[in-house]
Amino acid sequence: MPKTQEKARLLETRRVAEDTHRIALYAPRITATARPGQFVMVRITSEGTDPLLNRPFSFHRIHKDDGLFEILFRVVGRGTWLLSQRKEGETLEVIGPLGNFFTLPPAHEETVALVAGGIGIAPMEEWGHRLAQWARGDEARRVYLFYGARTASEVVPTRRLERKGVTTFISTDDGTLGRCGTALDLLDQTCRDLSIRPQRLYSCGPLAMQAAVATWARQQNLPAVMSLESVMACGIGACLGCALPAVPPDDSSRIHYVHVCKEGPVFDSRKILWEKMEPMPVRPLSFVCS
Amino acid sequence: MPKTQEKARLLETRRVAEDTHRIALYAPRITATARPGQFVMVRITSEGTDPLLNRPFSFHRIHKDDGLFEILFRVVGRGTWLLSQRKEGETLEVIGPLGNFFTLPPAHEETVALVAGGIGIAPMEEWGHRLAQWARGDEARRVYLFYGARTASEVVPTRRLERKGVTTFISTDDGTLGRCGTALDLLDQTCRDLSIRPQRLYSCGPLAMQAAVATWARQQNLPAVMSLESVMACGIGACLGCALPAVPPDDSSRIHYVHVCKEGPVFDSRKILWEKMEPMPVRPLSFVCS
Amino acid sequence: MGKDGTHARSAPELRVQLGPLSLKNPVLTASGTFGYGQEFSDFLDLARLGAVVVKGISLEPRPGNPPPRVTETPAGMLNAIGLENVGVERFLAEKLPSLRRRNATVIVNILGNSEQEYAALAERLEDAEGIAALEVNISCPNVKEGGIAFGTDPKTAARVTEAVRQKTHRPLIVKLSPNVTDIGLIARAVEAAGADIISCINTVSGMAVDVFSRRPKLANVLGGLSGPAIKPVALRCVYQVVHAVSCPVIGIGGIQTALDALEFLLVGASAVQVGTANLVRPTAAVEVLDGLERFLRHQGLASVQEYIGTLDTTCRLPQAEEACAGDG
Amino acid sequence: MGKDGTHARSAPELRVQLGPLSLKNPVLTASGTFGYGQEFSDFLDLARLGAVVVKGISLEPRPGNPPPRVTETPAGMLNAIGLENVGVERFLAEKLPSLRRRNATVIVNILGNSEQEYAALAERLEDAEGIAALEVNISCPNVKEGGIAFGTDPKTAARVTEAVRQKTHRPLIVKLSPNVTDIGLIARAVEAAGADIISCINTVSGMAVDVFSRRPKLANVLGGLSGPAIKPVALRCVYQVVHAVSCPVIGIGGIQTALDALEFLLVGASAVQVGTANLVRPTAAVEVLDGLERFLRHQGLASVQEYIGTLDTTCRLPQAEEACAGDG
Ligand SMILES: Cc1cc2nc3c(=O)[nH]c(=O)nc-3n(C[C@H](O)[C@H](O)[C@H](O)COP(=O)(O)OP(=O)(O)OC[C@H]3O[C@@H](n4cnc5c(N)ncnc54)[C@H](O)[C@@H]3O)c2cc1C
Ligand SMILES: Cc1cc2nc3c(=O)[nH]c(=O)nc-3n(C[C@H](O)[C@H](O)[C@H](O)COP(=O)(O)OP(=O)(O)OC[C@H]3O[C@@H](n4cnc5c(N)ncnc54)[C@H](O)[C@@H]3O)c2cc1C
Ligand SMILES: Cc1cc2nc3c(=O)[nH]c(=O)nc-3n(C[C@H](O)[C@H](O)[C@H](O)COP(=O)(O)O)c2cc1C
Ligand SMILES: Cc1cc2nc3c(=O)[nH]c(=O)nc-3n(C[C@H](O)[C@H](O)[C@H](O)COP(=O)(O)O)c2cc1C
Ligand code: FES
Ligand code: FES
């Protein structure tokens, strides 16, 4: 899967929930080898050298036949704000596909759960699709999605996944849609209530949620496959900027880091040192964008 | 005339000659007190801090009744290139009106000549208008325009001025339109050929041309009023960046500078130390813009 | 509940005390980027500002450097104005009265090429009314020592500070250059020599050239870099100075917005100066001030003082020993 | 006549000779921004580059600093990677062979925390095949002297240089830090101590904080500023070093385009390194190379050598005496 730098044409841009946008990019070379869980680096500026760095976004939907993919993003700062201002017909420089990807569950597993918090839903759509295909190969297979958002207006529609056969549960922190609580509450309670026993979790969301899901999975003795974030400069393994604290291969106590863009973004949750992670600061949009 | 910072709406943008654009800006507060010869500072970037500084442009046309003015500019670097990419409906931050302005000839003068080289035509349109009005006040008054460009494709149409009664002569360096030669050749030859005896010159154009016009005016013992350029940061007299070498008020030999944005941009040519001026470097567009 | 989700309160207290200098708010304008104040009176009310720091004044008027004097760089600009100024006499006769009429709090930035010049300036200004403080620009070359800037050596920096200190009872601000190996060292030297307040940074030494004409973009060849580009350098210098001295510090460098100003307050500056931003948006300083107040309300803080110096640098993870700090 | 109005000619000569080091062209990649080369092999042909300077190598592997390690700044970025690297043994076993397979010209950047470590590294690398030169990063803290960086003092800078010089016959490049009062002084010291070539600049010390969480944006608090923002500083340093020494100089700092690279060549650098730009556009270095060739054709120059150091700094106007160069 060679990495490519491609001038992508912005085919469609759509606001799909509060501060959340989906854009379709025509980039046949990148699309040709894209796999769910991988990401692209998107050049934000067209005008000068500020903002300087590209921003990473997961493949949200991959349309191989059309040579295009979609990304779904939340406006959290200047880069994403500027991206939300881009218009159809403009071009964006994109580098990809980058990083590793989700792999199908081993043969003996039948029930898997996707867990998504907030914009963590982004990579789950394409991956949910593939898992739905996987489930169609065997009657006993089940795919669940547990999707938590802060409030109803931020919930990205999941109809497409449901239609494909992914059983979807939704919660919001404030109870304005679905169950009231976090994605983990949702997962935990729903599994109890409906006696669902996932054999594997695929999770994406904010650090605090991911850490909680990791703990839950450990308690349940389940593997949890996580798509993680980190501040990135290059996305191609060159700068070593995207390090996260991890369990060293030799299980010693020495300092060890993994790199989200190279060994990730998809990790086995047991390999990450959750308690050592620095949370991403959250900045009120009213101060950051204009 | 208070200076104002105004969010101007870009009403119309039009390519009027090769690499030359005219844009109309709705900015009623600035327009209200704008006078020919003055200029505005235009904020180029909408995205970040690069390019950082505003760019100066002369009033090309002032439409008091409509609360709008037009600027005419040539693409010579990144800032003007980005400006040429702006679309109707966008807003631009503009500061103005700035600097001093052209004043009408003293009562005893009847024949005046405008001399414009290249994009130096920009301020001459509005000023030509006012002079045409002035000429209408007295039968003996005459206004001529001597306009030199590099080549036919770069000539900005002057019909509007001609219709108002400004007798216009055009030259191009390569002879593709009008007389072959510089604006000064044009001025000199036409005055000889047609026995025109201007009593005053108003001139705007590249430094080399301005210096030549200044010398010619001195030989003819004519006052030459010149709109000059300099690299600017603020345009409001705060940074002292836009200095040009000038004759000191006491006519001594000590070092003296005038500031284009404050004491200018309109100067009496005899006040400028032409031989000490540093020319603005010219950069091939193919390397500078993308 | 307010719009931002916090409780409405009375206006946060913006007053700051910098040693002997009390300012109505911590937003000042930086010397050389705000003229003599009057250039901005069409755009804002000078009386609203914490203070106006005027263009650097010398004993005699100076013509400044030949043009070109300014040029743009990525997210910044270079200047080599050459300290053009009207000289102290015209300043006192024309500029200061105009500032006072507008009720501006005035800080006078002074410069010279010898200790004597600095001292003479301080003396000349001592009796003038309406000057809140002196700010000493020590980035000027010391002609007695081969033109090396006073501010690059702790000894000469201290001597200039002392010379001024002896001639003034006014609050004394010394303004440091970032173009040194150890800014903390210079800071300690000027504090010991009598500075009440330290302001930093002055511009970063830089250069630009035109590849087609093969000429420098500034006639002076070298110039001072300012603007957003230098903000990380300025913040680092302020952080180092705050940890080196006990006197209050004024942060300068690349401040365009309230968030930029807050970064300096967070690392421990008691006030800030807005510089190059004034040249780009003449209303920049009051916009910073308004944004600062809005931020304090949003964060539920009763005063700016509560925010100053509250940076939390504890690290969750052990640092790699012997790492080359900040070098890859 | 060509499209640009100049006569078509044979391809301009790009080869440059830097003392003992001959390079096929003057466009190199900067250490730490190009990984070990292989990360870029999908994007460009490594063999086209003047040289690949690899990520700094130490005797032992290093884990690097805790995250966050990078953050964006206006037209720049800060990094505090903490010199994470695989160590010299894995470099020789895995990385160097991969680079050689791709026919890259390899320059090895080395770092340590004592003269002994630098010397030991040079010794270990001496017999390896396929190394065109060593580049010594002297921005690392000297643990014996309280962690002050070797590169900030002419004496320690010279001692590291000598230590490496004694162990290597290879062309020796010493890479200078801009975080000093007088970079010319350091340059002269390392030249006298045996450096064949000087490269500059390493990153500028800087800092960034988050005003909402009140935390530094880098876990290491301080970081190194790179990218377009620092180009004017880098250019000034190169100018100063070129005038201080007689050995060849490699220019580094904020180079994104061919025009940027040409600015460094114009002030006298014999080659350049593209750094942060690689992170933004992985094809940046070859784009610089292509643009350079296009420029030379456009200007009708037969070789890059004809262009190097041809800056014309004569001034038409008298400088104001005693002006504070570059400070307002
Ligand atoms: C592999 C990967 C895949 C991602 N996929 C998506 C996606 O599909 N949709 C989506 O909306 N977001 C995704 N992100 C996060 C996205 O990259 C950031 O939200 C974006 O870079 C913020 O840019 P900004 O300029 O708007 O914010 P900034 O102004 O740069 O920062 C604003 C906030 O965003 C945080 N932030 C900055 N950089 C990153 C980063 N690289 N990762 C996470 N947070 C960051 C900052 O800490 C800060 O709190 C992904 C991140 C990674 C690493
Ligand atoms: C008072 C005044 C009025 C002006 N009116 C007009 C006008 O009506 N129409 C028009 O097309 N141009 C006008 N100019 C020139 C215009 O401001 C410059 O062409 C513009 O700033 C270049 O910006 P840039 O980013 O495209 O070029 P840059 O990339 O900044 O520079 C490209 C070239 O333009 C030159 N340049 C840079 N700044 C200036 C400057 N302030 N003045 C002159 N040249 C500069 C540079 O030396 C260089 O050769 C005026 C300039 C002044 C001072
Ligand atoms: C992420 C990163 C890592 C770096 N690592 C090293 C290093 O290991 N050794 C070194 O000498 N310089 C290192 N540098 C400095 C660069 O080689 C270069 O000197 C500096 O970034 C300035 O150039 P630029 O502005 O083009 O990036 C690093 C820079 C960056 C941005
Ligand atoms: C055009 C200009 C002129 C300046 N003149 C002076 C001066 O006279 N005295 C002084 O101490 N600093 C002077 N400075 C430095 C500024 O006061 C300030 O320290 C520096 O620009 C950094 O802040 P900024 O990035 O916000 O501009 C000048 C800066 C600029 C841009
Ligand atoms: S972002 Fe550069 S190595 Fe991962
Ligand atoms: S441009 Fe700032 S004083 Fe003229």
**For B150-175, what is each residue's pLDDT tens digit?**
999 999 999 999 999 999 999 999 99
Q: What is the pLDDT of residue C3?
A: 45
Compute the distance from residue B6 Cα to the ligand 3 centre, in Å. 42
Cα B243 from Cα B262, distance rounded (Å) = 10
Both structure tokens of C133: 């403080």
Lookup result for tokens 């043009």: C67
Q: With 70 as the cut, is the pLDDT of residue D9 above it? A: no
User: pLDDT (tens digit, 9 = 90+) per residue, D255-289?
Assistant: 999 999 999 999 999 999 999 999 999 999 999 99
Q: What is the pLDDT of residue C299?
A: 95
**Smallest Cα distance from A49 to chain C, Å:** 7
* pLDDT confidence bin for C143, thresholds 50/70/90: confident
Ligand 5 atom closest to the CA of A240, numbered from 1: 3
Last residue of a domain, one of B229, B252, B283: B229
Burial call D172-211: b when 16+ CB within 10 Å, e when fewer: bbbbbbbbbbbbbebbbbbbebbbbbbbbbbbbbbbbbbb
Verify cis geometry, omega within 30 degrees of 0, for the bond prior to A51: yes
User: pLDDT (tens digit, 9 = 90+) per residue, B53-99?
Assistant: 999 999 999 999 999 999 999 999 999 999 999 999 999 999 999 99
Compute the distance from residue D204 Cα to the ligand 3 centre, in Å. 10
Can you list the residues of chain B whose pLDDT is less than 70? 281, 288-290
Both structure tokens of B222: 């004519």
For the residues D214-231, what does the mean pLDDT come to? 96
Q: A275 contacts in C (CB within 8 Å)?
A: 316
**Any D CB within 8 A of A233 CB:** yes
Question: Does A24 map to a domain?
Answer: yes
Q: What is the pLDDT of residue C96?
A: 97
Q: A87 with A193, same domain?
A: no
Cα D184 from Cα A164, distance rounded (Å) = 68
Q: B125 with B225, same domain?
A: yes
The answer to whether A59 touches A265, Cβ cutoff 8 Å, is no
Interface test with B, best of A7, A43, A46, A50 (most B CBs within 10 A): A50
Question: Does B178 map to a domain?
Answer: yes
Q: A117 with A225, same domain?
A: yes
| Residue span of the structural domain in which A60 resides | 4-98
**Smallest Cα distance from B28 to chain A, Å:** 24
Checking ipTM against 0.85, whether it exceeds it is: yes
Of D140, D200, D237, D247, the catalytic one is D140
The Cα angle at residue A132 between residues A131 and A133, in degrees rounded to 5: 90
Q: Do B48 and A46 touch (CB under 8 A)?
A: no
Q: Cite the annotated binding site of B by residue number.
A: 55-58, 72-74, 79-80, 234, 239, 242, 261
Can you list the residues of chain A whose pLDDT is less than 50? none
Q: B117 with B208, same domain?
A: yes
Q: D282 contacts in A (CB within 8 Å)?
A: 3, 5, 95, 234, 236, 238
Residue with CA nearest ligand 3 atom 15: D202
CA count, 13 A, side-chain hemisphere, C141: 15
Q: Do D69 and A231 touch (CB under 8 A)?
A: yes
**Any C CB within 8 A of A287 CB:** yes
The full DSSP string for C209-244 is EETTTTEESSTTSEEEEESGGGHHHHHHHHHHHHHH
Q: B153 with B131, same domain?
A: yes
Q: Is the CB of residue B261 below 6 angstroms from any atom belonging to ligand 6?
A: yes
Cα C42 from Cα A42, distance rounded (Å) = 42
Q: What's the mean per-residue pLDDT of chain C?
A: 93
Cα A131 from Cα A225, distance rounded (Å) = 14
Q: With 60 as the cut, is the pLDDT of residue C217 above it? A: yes
**Any D CB within 8 A of A245 CB:** yes
Question: Does A280 map to a domain?
Answer: no
Last residue of a domain, one of B98, B132, B166: B98
Instruction: Write the single-letter amino acid at C172.
Output: L
Report helix, strand or coil for B265: coil
Q: A132 with A209, same domain?
A: yes
Q: With 50 as the cut, is the pLDDT of residue D5 above it? A: no
CA count, 13 A, side-chain hemisphere, A276: 21
Q: A288 contacts in C (CB within 8 Å)?
A: 259
Q: A40 with A117, same domain?
A: no
Interface test with D, best of B280, B287, B290 (most D CBs within 10 A): B287
Q: Cite the annotated binding site of A for [2Fe-2S] cluster by residue number.
A: 234, 239, 242, 261
- List chains touching D (3+ CB pairs under 8 A): A, B, C
Of the candidates A66, A55, A54, the residue with the CA atom closest to the CA atom of residue A25:
A66
Q: What is the pLDDT of residue A47?
A: 76
Question: What is the count of structural domains for chain A?
Answer: 2
Q: Do D68 and A2 touch (CB under 8 A)?
A: no
Q: What is the pLDDT of residue D319?
A: 53
Q: What is the pLDDT of residue C2?
A: 41
Q: Do D311 and C66 touch (CB under 8 A)?
A: no
The answer to whether D204 touches D222, Cβ cutoff 8 Å, is no
Q: Do A50 and C259 touch (CB under 8 A)?
A: no
Cα D130 from Cα D111, distance rounded (Å) = 19
Q: With 70 as the cut, is the pLDDT of residue D213 above it? A: yes
Question: Does A270 map to a domain?
Answer: no
Question: Does A32 map to a domain?
Answer: yes
Of the candidates D196, D277, D182, D282, the residue with the CA atom closest to the CA atom of residue D231:
D277
Q: C78 contacts in B (CB within 8 Å)?
A: none
- In total, the C-beta contacts within 8 angstroms joining chain A to chain C are 26
Q: B74 with B135, same domain?
A: no
Q: Is D136 exposed, middle or buried (0-12, 13-18, 19+ CB in 10 A)?
A: buried
Q: C317 contacts in D (CB within 8 Å)?
A: 66, 219
Say which CATH superfamily domain C16-325 falls into: Aldolase class I (3.20.20.70)
Q: What are phi and psi of B231, to 5 degrees?
A: -70, 130
Ligand 4 atom closest to the CA of C69, numbered from 1: 1
For the residues D215-230, what does the mean pLDDT come to? 96
Question: Does A282 map to a domain?
Answer: no
Q: With 70 as the cut, is the pLDDT of residue D210 above it? A: yes
Q: With 70 as the cut, is the pLDDT of residue C282 above it? A: yes
Q: Tell me, what CATH number does B200's domain have?
A: 3.40.50.80
Question: Does A105 map to a domain?
Answer: no
**Smallest Cα distance from A82 to chain B, Å:** 7
Q: Tell me, what CATH number does A51's domain have?
A: 2.40.30.10
Both structure tokens of C309: 């110096």
Q: Is the CB of residue D256 below 6 angstroms from any atom belonging to ligand 3?
A: no
Q: Is the CB of residue A237 below 6 angstroms from any atom belonging to ligand 5?
A: yes
Q: Is C106 exposed, middle or buried (0-12, 13-18, 19+ CB in 10 A)?
A: buried
Q: What's the mean per-residue pLDDT of chain D?
A: 93
Which residues are B225's β-sheet partners?
B202, B268
Q: B73 with B133, same domain?
A: no
Q: B125 with B159, same domain?
A: yes
**Smallest Cα distance from A84 to chain B, Å:** 12
User: pLDDT (tens digit, 9 = 90+) per residue, A98-153?
Assistant: 999 999 999 999 999 999 999 999 999 999 999 999 999 888 999 999 999 999 99
Sign of the Cα torsion B126, B128, B134, B139 reads negative
Helices (H), B10-58: 28-33
Of the candidates D203, D257, D204, the residue with the CA atom closest to the CA atom of residue D33:
D203
Q: A132 with A190, same domain?
A: yes
Q: A121 with A217, same domain?
A: yes
Last residue of a domain, one of A70, A98, A126: A98
Question: Does A148 map to a domain?
Answer: yes
* pLDDT confidence bin for D2, thresholds 50/70/90: very low
* pLDDT confidence bin for C325, thresholds 50/70/90: very low
**Smallest Cα distance from C130 to chain D, Å:** 24
Helices (H), B64-155: 78-85, 122-136
**Any A CB within 8 A of B47 CB:** yes
- pTM check: above 0.90: yes
Q: Do D276 and A254 touch (CB under 8 A)?
A: no
CA count, 13 A, side-chain hemisphere, D153: 14
Which ligand lies nearest the alpha carbon of B234?
6
The full DSSP string for D271-325 is EEEE-THHHH-TTHHHHHHHHHHHHHHHTT-SBGGGTTT------SSPPPTT--T
Q: Is the CB of residue B242 below 6 angstroms from any atom belonging to ligand 6?
A: yes
Cα B204 from Cα B223, distance rounded (Å) = 14
Cα B182 from Cα B189, distance rounded (Å) = 11
Q: Cite the annotated binding site of B for FAD by residue number.
A: 55-58, 72-74, 79-80
Q: What is the pLDDT of residue B130?
A: 96
